[in-house]
Amino acid sequence: MLQSIFVIALFLANPSSSIVLHGYKAVNPAWNITLDLTIVKNSTADNVLIEMQGPTDRWFGIGFGANQMSGTYAITSTGSTGVITERKLGNHEQGTTLQSSVTVLSNVNNGNGFRTVKLSRSVQGPSSNYYTFPTSATSINLICARGDSSGATTLAFHGDSNHHNGVQISLQFFVLFWFCFCFVLFCFVFEAAVHTYKRITKKKKKKKVAH
């Protein structure tokens, strides 16, 4: 629901030139780390909605646009409350913390051992340390990692068995959104036409009665 409202609001800002892309990927199904991306770009708006899911009992993170850690932009969730941090990763190390460019829309412990975080930020990264998201249908390379054991909520070395690379998320034009938007528009126009027809018919009947 939140994603739909986000997309529709940005679309209505400038519908004539909007680009809407969407993709979903189970980055690591065994760990239930997933990623959902929605990208909207037009002349007045430039946003990406990022929805990440991962474990609550340890830290987790996803890196964008690369197959290795060094120099990669990543978003991590740490601590018992899922503190969101953006980082430029180092060579097999946590790298440097970046100034936040994301807005946290929601951060929910689902109660089943997993957390869902919804973020928004500009498509364009504020500097070369950040990932700039595409605005055309394509695939993005991803890496992910998690804490090496339950209770490892502080960002630290993940060990050899708790990282994953060679994953891609495919971004496609958000066909479902366009279908829904056109359907709603059709219903609105149809209802207006029916209302107008009934009003005209009612006036004609009144004229006949008057004669």
Q: In 3D, which of 3, 23, 45, 18 has the Cα closest to residue 140?
A: 23
| pLDDT recorded at residue 42 | 72
Q: So where are the chain's domains?
A: 2-173, 184-211
Six-digit token string for 10: 């940005």
| pLDDT recorded at residue 17 | 47
Between the alpha carbon of residue 157 and those of residues 99, 146, 152, 153, the distances in Å are: 22, 9, 10, 11
What is the SS3 assignment for 4?
Answer: helix
What is the SS3 assignment for 143?
Answer: strand
Asked whether 123 and 39 are in contact (CB, 8 A), the reply is yes
| pLDDT recorded at residue 16 | 44
Between the alpha carbon of residue 129 and those of residues 70, 76, 89, 104, 108, the distances in Å are: 11, 15, 10, 20, 28
| pLDDT recorded at residue 160 | 86
Percent of the chain with pLDDT over 70: 80
Sign of CA dihedral 28, 29, 32, 38: positive
Cα separation of the two ends of the chain: 55
| pLDDT digits 0-9 by tens, 139-153 | 999 999 999 999 999
Average pLDDT over residues 99-103: 97
pLDDT band at 187 (very low <50, low <70, confident <90, very high): confident
pLDDT band at 186 (very low <50, low <70, confident <90, very high): confident
Whether the pLDDT of residue 185 is over 50: the answer is: yes
Average pLDDT over residues 33-54: 88
Between the alpha carbon of residue 206 and those of residues 66, 81, 115, 158, 193, the distances in Å are: 72, 68, 63, 80, 20
Q: Which CATH code of 2.30.29, 2.60.40, 3.30.450, 1.10.287 fits the domain covering 2-173?
A: 2.60.40
